[in-house]
Copies of this chain bind each other. A is one copy, B any other.
């Protein structure tokens, strides 16, 4: 079974926006056992859309388009595809009533232009848009019209805005795709999120022990991200679930300390979730990471129940004033040092009364390195009820990657220390 994805939008070809639909849709399909063979982006002009859809239907069992279903003059996807397939557009009263309710509930009049959204190519299935007005459309294209001698294709038209497209894809498109193209055998996919080991070290640790399962049909994949590696297990067939479960058990036994979550978990979400569950509080003292850690943790809804305060003590004087780091310590060891990291974490814990405190001090670069402490040197400290642990790391990356990676390490150390303390 072959799938092609067509993203419409002149802004994509002008490089004004990133094509996030491509990654998101491809990822969803892959995690459900379907792989996209080709993705195409074309501008809003109707000819390019018609050409891309015609070519897609000649090759693929399923063609998915995104964008161009809205009410403005550059939204041509619906019209030009109806024209391509020779299907007249027909008024659909249920869409009109959906649009009317959508605007009524927001206390706004129905814009005249939304009228085009009530038009449906003959024979198309309509998927109401739970977060907008333009419905999704699905149709079967018989073999003889576009793929002489081939099989019939399915064509799915999705709206462009991500907050409309994503729920529609998950709740309407995916179930339909499973119905149209059922897997001949079970398909199981599981992604473990890890931090602390690079891709090749991770492969070295688990690749060998997983060989027998791979020989039995397990597919093992790695995806290296900044400060993280995703480990992905997939399998097909009757024993797929057991195979993936066994692989996960082996990975948890061998590298369990690096696994912080599953699927799309973010490390900061896991930290907040674990701390909130135990009613624990946290304070942060950042120097070189400059607020990155505090910012990520406060991105998580509910962070305010956990995080008491964050201090970005960039200047030495701020370390002294806000955290009570002794001036003599700074003079003797320098701001980037084990004793100062320790004093920062201790100070943040003391002045806030938090259960745990985490501190970072290092050289983010590009300037400021020395032979003894090159750019990328960083000390990470965690203070808790059982004492203080300090780690020295060397993260030689550009400035933003340095900050991200250091914060991954800080959160990993924080979780490690927190798990040592009885609930």
Contacts and interface: CB of A to CB of B under 8 A. Distances in A.
A35 B48 contact: no
Contact of A298 (B15, B26, B314, B365): B314
Q: Which of A30, A293, A310 gathers most chain B CB within 10 Å?
A: A310
**Interface range on chain A (Cβ under 8 Å from partner):** 35 or more
Contacts of A353: 317
Interface of A: 11-20, 22-30, 35-43, 48, 52, 223, 230, 284, 289-295, 297-299, 301, 303-304, 307-315, 317-318, 321-322, 351-353, 364-367, 399-400, 403
12 contacts: A12-B26, A13-B35, A15-B25, A15-B28, A18-B23, A290-B294, A290-B295, A291-B291, A295-B403, A304-B314, A308-B314, A308-B318
B291 A292 contact: yes
B318 A290 contact: no
Interface-central residue, A25, A309, A353, by most chain B CB under 10 Å = A309
A298 B313 CA distance: 11
A379 to B, nearest CB: 17
Nearest to A321: B351
Given A18-B19, A308-B314, 20 more contacts: A11-B223, A15-B22, A15-B28, A15-B29, A16-B23, A16-B223, A18-B20, A18-B23, A19-B23, A22-B41, A37-B42, A40-B41, A290-B307, A291-B298, A291-B310, A298-B364, A298-B403, A299-B400, A304-B315, A317-B353
B23 A299 contact: no
Contact of A312 (B36, B311, B315, B366): B311
